[in-house]
A and B are shown apart, each in its own frame.
Chain A
Amino acid sequence: MEIRELQAKAAQIRMDLLQMIFRAKTGHTGGSLSNTDIITALYYRIMNIDPAQPKAADRDRFILSKGHSVESLWAVLADKGFFEKEQLATFSQFGTKLIGHPNNKVPGIEMNTGALGHGLAVAVGMALAAKRDGVRYRTFCLMGDGEQAEGSVWEAAMAGAHYKLDNLIAIIDRNRLQISGSTEEVMGLDPLEDKWRAFGWNVMVIDGNDMQALIESLEAVPSVPGKPTLVMANTVKGKGVSFAENVPHWHHHVPNETELEQALTELSAVFEFYQTEGQGR
């Protein structure tokens, strides 16, 4: 998919996830909107995946370590055809498989997540297995920035560098907000990229809501032999919805009908813009 199509797709995914959250009256709106571009780039351009063969041996692996932001992933998996799109209507409903965190009873989900600080260690195990077996798949792990306060993240970071896992790519959705406010107020992380460099990772810092930058950085990995890569994706929490952007309250706030309509209007305009050929950015 070309950049313009990816941008339109991301707008569509944002509309889908907002409708899911509105229907369910629950969800993590802000973080799903901030990571939508990253997940869109991975699933529609970067990763080697086939919805018809979700367990193919050579598929790239994706672990959503910030599991609470699963709404964008559910919308993408449905759109890719891992399951029927109608199932999105069951999100967070009684007895559903589409719960508020990744659930590997659903095709396309590798591991159950939800407890923060778990994903990277699991991804290290997957990448290590690929190295030991000489298999060429890559393992991607998307973490939150608030999640960086979990000590287990750094245990895994150490192991990733120790075992020279250049087939491992961690991405941080650096939106600078967590449930209680700014990450720097809650538990300071900066200079976060220096910390990862000091742990032996190849670090790239990009605008994580810029599709061009995402594609360029993710297509470039594995870029340094013998080093795992960390993509520090600076994003905006609530991205794409003017009144939700950078507002901590939208971490898990649910839009009312008026808010939903406004959000859909804004996102439709973005969608139309990128769908229409010949227009400049």
Chain B
Amino acid sequence: MNTIPNRQVICDTLLELAQHDRDIMVLASDSRGSAAMAPFAKAYPDQFVEVGIAEQNIVGISAGLAHSGKKPFVTSPACFLSMRSIEQIKVDVAYSGTNVKLVGISGGISYGALGMSHHSVQDLAVARAIPGLSVMLPADRHETKQMIEALVQYEGGVYVRIGRNAVEDVYESDAYEFTIGKAVTMREGTDVTIIAAGETVRVALDAYEELKEAGVSCRIINMHTIKPLDEDAVIHAAKETGHIITVEEHSVLGGLGAAVAEVVVQYAPVPMRIIGIPDEPAIAGKTAEVFKHYGISSDNLKMVALHMLGKQEKN
């Protein structure tokens, strides 16, 4: 079982890359601990900027740094970064075309017991609505590493959302090819497709096994880039499997499910279900408990798939 959280992987990756790239900068809003960026701050004090608890400021300053040729990575809790400073993200990053990477840490319901103020389950909807801003979620530590390496090379505004705790690997190693905007088909299947992103990819892979036992051929897609969305992968899945289920650690409004639905209804209408947090202040609890409560679980995905296929077992 992997014990390295993605935030630590981000720090390690940036530490490695910063040796050869003096333009990489990390910014924190009193979050160097929660973002696991303390080692970076220590190793490269000239490439680290602390702004204090000021999320509007961290984005504005990053835009100014990027304007001057720096490659800033803003590391701040997703709940505040995606909301408190959204106007700075819209105007100073996206509209002005500055090369800022916004890394929302402890996203989703990572801060489970802290309540709605600290849950970040609207961030994908908000970020997705901003022209020019890309939106990504890595599924495990291997993907996180590759994603950060790709983002150092990529010019433009990006919002990346990661969780707080270590997640089980979905890839055996980082020896696969991560490409921004190109979905990964994790399992082939012909009856139904489950599209997941971030930490729900693990849940989808577990559902694959359960559905396989139930005699259902399920395709699993890791949609690590929600924007720009890999429309071809969605259209092929709809046409080839006839049923789509999405699962996300986000409100059912405006996130992965909505992004997929926008493509499905326009280009390949098929039955679809969106699994996520309903439009309510999410219940408090540990991630696993909250996931179970809202059906972000392999059992529920199996049940929804069987129901869609008309094979629902009574339970």
Contact = CB atoms under 8 A, between A and B. Distances in A.
Interface of A: 104, 110-115, 117-118, 120-130, 132-133, 139, 151-152, 155-156, 158-159, 162
Interface stretch (B85-93, B154-162, B195-203, B268-276): B85-93
Contacts of B51: 155, 159
A46 B235 CA distance: 58
8 contacts: A120-B60, A121-B63, A121-B64, A122-B61, A126-B64, A126-B68, A129-B65, A130-B68
A129 B70 contact: yes
Contacts of A113: 91
A110 B65 CA distance: 12
Interface of B: 46-47, 49, 51-52, 54, 56-57, 59-70, 87-88, 90-92, 95-98
A158 B96 CA distance: 24
A123 B49 CA distance: 15
A88 B90 CA distance: 27
A125 B96 contact: no
Given A104-B96, A112-B96, A130-B68, A159 B61 contact: yes
B65 A104 contact: no
Nearest to A114: B91
A32 to B, nearest CB: 21
B60 A112 contact: no
Contact of B63 (A122, A130, A139, A152): A122
A155 B57 CA distance: 6
A122 B57 contact: no
Contact of A115 (B61, B70, B87): B87
B59 to A, nearest CB: 8
A110 B59 CA distance: 16
Contacts of B66: 125
Nearest to A135: B68
Given A115-B91, A118-B91, A122-B92, A155 B56 contact: yes
Contacts of A120: 60
Contacts of A121: 56-57, 59-61, 63-64, 88, 92
Contacts of A115: 87, 90-91
B64 A152 contact: no
Contacts of B87: 115, 118
A122 B67 contact: yes
A122 B56 contact: no
A123 B91 CA distance: 14
Given A124-B60, A156-B57, A111 B46 contact: no
Given A112-B95, A113-B91, A155-B54, A118 B60 contact: yes
Contacts of B60: 118, 120-122, 124-125, 152, 156
For the residues of A in contact with B, the DSSP-based class is: helix
Given A122-B60, A122-B63, A159-B54, A129 B88 contact: no
Nearest to B87: A115
Given A120-B60, A159-B52, 8 more contacts: A111-B64, A111-B98, A112-B92, A118-B91, A127-B64, A152-B57, A152-B60, A158-B57
Nearest to B63: A122
Contacts of B61: 121-122, 124-125, 128, 156, 159
Contacts of B46: 132
Contacts of A104: 96-97
For the complex of A and B, 9 pairs with smallest distance between CB atoms = A125-B64, A121-B60, A129-B68, A155-B57, A125-B61, A155-B54, A122-B64, A126-B64, A152-B56
A118 B69 contact: no
A270 B300 CA distance: 78
A233 B54 CA distance: 28
Contacts of A130: 68
Of A104, A110, A111, A127, which is in contact with the most chain B CB atoms at under 10 Å from its CB?
A111
Contacts of A156: 57, 60-61
Nearest to B84: A152
A44 to B, nearest CB: 24
A132 B22 CA distance: 10
A155 B49 CA distance: 14
A132 to B, nearest CB: 6
A130 B67 CA distance: 11
Given A111-B92, A115-B91, A129-B69, A123 B54 contact: no
Nearest to A125: B64
A192 B32 CA distance: 34
A48 to B, nearest CB: 15
B89 to A, nearest CB: 11
Nearest to B60: A121
B130 to A, nearest CB: 13
Contacts of B91: 112-115, 118
Contacts of B54: 155, 158-159
A144 B10 CA distance: 40
A162 B56 CA distance: 17
Of A110, A113, A125, A151, which is in contact with the most chain B CB atoms at under 10 Å from its CB?
A125
B64 A124 contact: yes
B57 A159 contact: yes
A158 B49 contact: no
Of B56, B69, B97, which is in contact with the most chain A CB atoms at under 10 Å from its CB?
B56
A128 B91 CA distance: 20
Contacts of A123: 64
